[in-house]
C-alpha cells in the first residue's frame, strides 16, 4: 500500500477478528516503527507486545476504569454500553502493544521523548494499516496506570506513552469528517 493511501485508510478499529497476527508480521511492524525520527536520535522507544491472559487483564483494567466513568448499569445509553463492552475486550483484538519511554524528570527531555515515541507509534499504526491490520491509538487506559503497571510489571523508570489493540479488522468504519482546516496552516515568508 502506498504511503498516502495508508494515511487516508487508517482508522480507529473497535472490532477485531480473533485470528492471531503472526509474530513475524508484528516484528516487521515494530521494525518500521523504529525508523521514526527522534530527538537527538536517541530512539527512546520500547514496545511491549501482549497476548493471552495478560492482554485480557489489560483489557479488563480498561473496562473497569471506563465503566467507572459512566452511569450505573441500567442508566447507560446503548453507545455507553457498547463502549464498555469494547473496552473490556479491546474489541476482541488478539494483541495489544504498549509504547514506553524512559522516565525523565527534566521537562524538556520528557517532552522530546514523548514526541519521539509518538512518532514511532504513528509509524506503527500506518505500517499496520499497510499490512491490512487494525489498530486504535489509546491513552484512555492510562487513567488506570497504576493497575497497568502492576499487570505488565512496568517499572517506575519507564513512562507509558500509548496503547493499541492490534488485529485483523472485523469492521470498516467510514472516514470521519475532517474539521475545517481554515486557519490551521500559517505560511510565513513563503
> What per-residue confidence (pLDDT) applies to 42?
97
What Rg value do the Cα atoms of the chain yield, rounded? Answer: 18
User: How would you classify the pairing of strands 95-102 and 158-167?
Assistant: antiparallel
CA neighbor of 131 nearest in space, from 92, 95, 176, 86: 95
CB 116 within 8 A of CB 101: yes
Say what the alpha-carbon torsion angle 134, 49, 24, 45 is, to the nearest 10 degrees.
90
Residue 166 has φ and ψ, to the nearest 5°, of -145, 130
- Which residue numbers in the chain have pLDDT < 70? none
Give the model confidence (pLDDT) of 19-75 as tens digits: 999 999 999 999 999 999 999 999 999 999 999 999 999 999 999 999 988 999 999
What SS3 class is residue 156? coil
Amino acid at each position: 500500500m502506498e504511503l498516502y493511501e495508508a494515511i487516508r485508510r487508517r482508522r480507529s478499529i473497535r472490532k477485531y477478528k480473533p485470528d492471531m497476527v503472526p509474530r513475524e508480521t508484528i516484528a516487521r511492524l515494530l521494525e518500521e516503527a523504529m525508523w521514526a525520527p527522534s530527538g537527538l536520535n536517541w530512539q527512546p522507544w520500547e514496545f511491549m507486545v501482549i497476548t493471552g491472559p495478560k492482554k485480557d487483564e489489560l483489557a479488563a483494567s480498561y473496562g473497569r476504569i471506563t465503566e467507572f466513568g459512566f452511569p450505573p448499569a441500567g442508566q447507560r445509553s446503548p453507545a455507553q454500553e457498547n463502549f464498555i463492552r469494547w473496552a473490556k475486550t479491546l474489541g476482541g483484538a488478539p494483541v495489544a502493544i504498549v509504547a514506553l519511554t524512559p522516565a525523565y524528570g527534566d521537562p524538556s527531555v520528557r517532552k522530546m521523548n514523548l514526541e519521539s515515541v509518538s512518532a514511532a507509534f504513528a509509524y506503527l499504526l500506518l505500517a499496520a494499516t499497510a499490512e491490512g491490520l487494525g489498530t486504535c491509538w489509546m491513552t484512555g487506559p492510562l487513567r488506570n496506570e497504576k493497575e497497568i503497571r502492576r499487570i505488565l510489571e512496568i517499572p517506575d523508570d519507564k513512562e507509558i506513552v500509548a496503547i493499541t489493540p492490534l488485529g485483523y479488522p472485523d469492521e470498516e468504519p467510514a472516514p470521519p469528517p475532517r474539521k475545517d482546516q481554515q486557519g490551521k496552516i500559517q505560511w510565513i515568508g513563503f
